[in-house]
Copies of this chain bind each other. A is one copy, B any other.
């Protein structure tokens, strides 16, 4: 699966090539990559393009460049992608806005025992369930699969969620930071369900992070909605910073 797309820019083609060679063990830690000049001559490209290719590789964190010295291999495996520190509701929503949510399904369901436990509800309750994939912006790489649950409350939000065309817009309006009192968040470890694995291009039964969030209103008593997100652990982890006092 090198690349079907011929439309990839030169620097990216060359960059990907070296990234793969590093990951495949053709370069060891400490080894030097070709210099800009060597890349120019070998690939018949301008120095600018060679530099862009090396920058592309550097951005993965696999190599390091030092003026006067060259480009050296730092690691031979992809560093884990770490999600940005989320410390407040604002951070959470900003993170949501910085990524793209692609709706996959919209249903009204009767909660199974398992689902009910997850979202602290009762088995057999009727809930609106949305499912979707969260992507990096302008990148096809999926971040996670997210289910959104909402207890029907016979209001305009219900109507908006049930209609696929307005569902995302409705979610964004509902999760406005000045409508939210608090968010309870529970993180645990599960095995990637096959259904989700297929949709986000991950491996079934591999370790996965499951983050469940309960969004409460300003009064902190009513649950606005509940989300369940499943992240492949190979690519993502959850980081926080704690300060004394």
Chain A residues proximal to chain B, CB less than 8 Å? 29, 61, 64, 66, 74-75, 77, 79-80, 82-92, 94, 97-98, 117, 123, 137-138, 177-178, 180-191, 207-210, 231, 233, 236-245
CB distance from A214 to the nearest CB of B (A): 9
Contact (A84, B79) CB under 8 Å given A186-B239, A236-B188:
yes
Which chain B residues border A86 with CB–CB below 8 Å? 84, 87, 240, 242
9 A–B pairs (Cβ distance < 8 Å), ordered by A: A29-B97, A74-B97, A74-B98, A75-B94, A75-B117, A85-B87, A89-B245, A187-B209, A189-B189
Q: Which residue of B lies closest to A116 (CB)?
A: B75
Contact (A138, B87) CB under 8 Å given A74-B98, A190-B207, A238-B186:
no
Which chain B residues border A237 with CB–CB below 8 Å? 186-188
Which chain B residues border A79 with CB–CB below 8 Å? 84-85, 117
Q: Which residue of B lies closest to A81 (CB)?
A: B85
Which chain B residues border A241 with CB–CB below 8 Å? 80, 82, 84, 182-185
A94 to B98, CA, bound (A): 36
On whether the beta carbons of A189 and B177 are closer than 8 Å, the reply is no
Residue among A75, A98, A182 with the highest chain B CB neighbour number at 10 A: A75
Contact (A188, B233) CB under 8 Å given A85-B80, A85-B84, A243-B83:
yes
A208 to B180, CA, bound (A): 31
CB distance from A46 to the nearest CB of B (A): 13
A12 to B207, CA, bound (A): 37
